[in-house]
Structure 1
Amino acid sequence: MENDTYFLLPNKHRKFEKIPFSEILYLQGNINYTLIHLQSGKVKISPRTLRFHVNNSLDDNFIRIHRAFCVNRSYIQSYNEKESANFLLLTSGIKLSVSRRKKRELLKIN
């Protein structure tokens, strides 16, 4: 994409790797690290928290659905609401849990 914006991921050599937002399926918080799941199936690791990335690095195309997950809206296929669990199905077939407090935000965009 020509007008694509990038996620800057620091690497070992104190430089940054540019990852287009359009290639990121979702981000997963893991204590003080963030796992960045890409469309290609690769997973990159960021030494920052998910909260840091949500507040500073991501654009409006990403939505926080759980304390551990932030999803690219472009890859949302469907939202399933059941009594026992709410989950989001991505176009890649991955199911992610949706917290009950984030459910309202998700219903607004669908």
Structure 2
Amino acid sequence: MEDMTKTVVIADRYIEAREAIRRYVHGVMGFRVIRECSNRLETIRSVSLLTPDVLFVEEGLYRMYKGEILSKGVCHPLTVILADKDACIERVFKKDVFDYLRKPYTQEDVERTLHRISYAVQREIPSERPNTASSAIFVVDGIRFKKIAIGDVMHVKAARDYSIIYTDVGEYVSSHGIGYIAERLNAGFFVRVHRSFIVNLAYVDELHREGGRMILVLKNGHEVTVSRRYVDTMKRLIL
């Protein structure tokens, strides 16, 4: 059975507050605290290097953290604000914040938030599908349909309501969306790493992290950022 444990980072200047959140999280199955931070730099470093699923962060630290990390477009965890009063909550509770907790919060408050996170993440996990892949596909090439070996497909990129199929010998436009194409590619070789990208693992040269992002480098030098939704998929390939 796959490990679906969600990783958690806690950022608060006060040790009592961090200990309380850690204790409450420990009591909820499926979540694990991997780091506690007491200042802005620790928070930035931990989120960038550990790429946690969930961040509990004090409102004051969040405002500094957001300015240095979130505004740069780096993938960030589901954020739960820890605020002292309602005025703070109203100031920071925007679309990039998943939830908030007003101090003093209880174990029931934390459990309720974590259960909401579990439900939200579960909705984003791609469903299992039967393998209907073939050894070859046909793509439009002028007025003909050209046969291409499935192994020659390097990656597929979404382009609005159609897709572009990249191969060693050229690029081909498909009138189908990337979701339709993903269902017809062999899941053992092709991996969906972004809402706009499918990659053939045979053409991946390396995987690295940069500024909190997970990036794939293809053999042709093309770089593809792994979106948050598919990070767990890539993590399962790291042994």
Where in structure 2 are there 5+ consecutive unaligned residues? 1-133
Counting strand residues as a fraction of each chain, which structure ranks higher? 1
Which amino acid in 2 is paired with 1:5?
S
Which residue pairs with 2:148 in the alignment? Answer: 19
Where in structure 1 are there 5+ consecutive unaligned residues? none
Secondary structure in 2 aligned to 1:96? strand
**Is this contact kept in 1: 2:156–2:163, CA < 8 A?**
yes
TM-score in terms of structure 2 length = 0.40
**Is this contact kept in 1: 2:153–2:168, CA < 8 A?**
yes
Shift of 1:82: 2.6
Tell whether 2:189 aligns with 1:59: no
Shift of 1:12: 5.8
Report the identity percentage.
Answer: 21
TM-score in terms of structure 1 length = 0.83
Q: How many corresponding residue pairs?
A: 104
Which residue pairs with 2:138 in the alignment? Answer: 8
Q: Distance in 2 between matches of 1:37 and 1:48?
A: 14
Secondary structure in 2 aligned to 1:77? strand
Q: Distance in 2 between matches of 1:71 and 1:79?
A: 12
Deviations 1:53-80 (A, max 9, x none): 111x211210000000000011111111
Q: Distance in 2 between matches of 1:83 and 1:23?
A: 32
Which residue pairs with 2:218 in the alignment? Answer: 90
Which amino acid in 1 is paired with 2:139?
L
Q: Distance in 2 between matches of 1:104 and 1:28?
A: 20
Which one has more relative contact order, counting CA pairs under 8 Å at least 6 apart?
1
Q: CA RMSD in A?
A: 1.8
Aligned mate of 1:81, from 206, 209, 212: 209
Counting helix residues as a fraction of each chain, which structure ranks higher? 2
Shift of 1:48: 0.5
